[in-house]
Amino acid sequence: MASPEQAQQASPELFFATVNAYQRTEALRAAIELDLFSALGAGPRTAAALGERCSASERGIRILCDYLVVHGFLTKEGNRYANTPDSAVFLDRKSAAYLGSAINFILSPMLTDGFKNLAAAVRKGGTVMGEHGTLAPEHPVWVEFARSMAPMTTIPSAAIARLMRLEPGRKHRVLDIAAGHGKFGIAFAREYPNVEIVAQDWPNVLAVARENARAAGIEERFRTLPGSAFDVDYGSGYDLVLLTNFLHHFDPETCERLLRKARAALAPGARAATLEFVPNEDRVSPPVPATFSLMMLGSTPKGDAYTFPELERMFRNAGFARSELHALPPTFQSVVISYS
């Protein structure tokens, strides 16, 4: 219970800001749908001028832009709005780092529906969306993922490829498990001319990965392995296995089963590189990996954001000798390198 002194000094500000936080999501989504940030690419504009460019009412644009100023996406001087530096980089369609398409995945009903009755998911301890949530075989959400999220991998995929320091002269075979858009494997093929990629995923998803391999000019070193990561035959003798944003969908037992299978496909002394949201052991820091657990609670039966000791134990139980944790700034993710 609160003391009278606490009650006097208390503020409901956080409560109201949080209750209404869904409006932040919707305001950003609306601005991306209206392509507002691209309309500001050439410089500051008034609500009237933006309304004309975005085919929207001046009044609606004025209210939306003021909201986006308050929340840090735009600046306002007099009655003219402008992109912040971050908005210019990530939200102007003409920018190479454009992230706006990510909302097609992150805000797809397949993910957001899992939050419509979050209390039920907390009671149950997992998603209330069907038996498997987003993990049902050939779920179309992963095609949307492959199409929408590829632009976001530019920085981390190149960073992992460099981090793994493959020997330049030698041929390497890399198995990319649950490859999705294929961009992580493709980054290795681009960084190392002797690397050959085998990309595993659902067939509908691999179609997107093949397009990306072709666009990157590495298709002759890019093979596909269609099917479930748990059932398909990986083959053997790989020098590296990539597990990017995959383990968080499963419980530790399922992860260990997969890791045993992955280890069996490796050549002696080869490595696994795992990209994950890895919270500290307190599970409440840093904010991005710590809050990722809730995404898994809403959308999967048993997924989680695992701490490094938890991941280390899974790899050890699966037969790996040791694991190392590497931060991957400026991303909010980490790479675990495990030695077979």
The footprint of a second copy on residues 203-242 (CB under 8 A) is none
Shortest distance (Å) from residue 11 CB to a second copy: 6
Q: Could you say whether residue 254 binds a second copy (CB under 8 A)?
A: no
Dihedral sign for Cα atoms in the order 119, 121, 124, 130? positive
Shortest distance (Å) from residue 155 CB to a second copy: 9
Binders of a second copy in range 150-209 (CB under 8 A): 152
| CB-CB contact of 267 with 259 (8 Å) | no
With respect to a second copy, which residue has the nearer C-beta, 267 or 295?
295
Binders of a second copy in range 25-54 (CB under 8 A): 25-30, 33-34, 41, 54
With respect to a second copy, which residue has the nearer C-beta, 114 or 180?
114
Binders of a second copy in range 120-149 (CB under 8 A): 121-126
Binders of a second copy in range 289-318 (CB under 8 A): 290-291, 293-298, 304
Note if the bond before 309 is cis, omega within 30 degrees.
no
Strands 80-83 and 74-77: antiparallel
| CB-CB contact of 48 with 58 (8 Å) | yes
Whole-number Å distance between alpha carbons of 79 and 8: 39
Contact region with a second copy (CB under 8 A), list: 192-200, 232-240, 262-270, 286-294: 286-294
Dihedral sign for Cα atoms in the order 104, 228, 118, 275? negative
When binding is defined by CB under 8 A, the residue of 49, 82, 88, 207 that contacts a second copy is 88
Whole-number Å distance between alpha carbons of 49 and 260: 59
Count of residues binding a second copy (CB under 8 A)? 92
With respect to a second copy, which residue has the nearer C-beta, 19 or 327?
19
Contacts of 275 (CB under 8 A, 6+ apart): 156, 160, 184, 242, 243, 244, 245, 328, 333, 334, 335
Binders of a second copy in range 62-81 (CB under 8 A): 62-64, 66-67, 69-73, 76
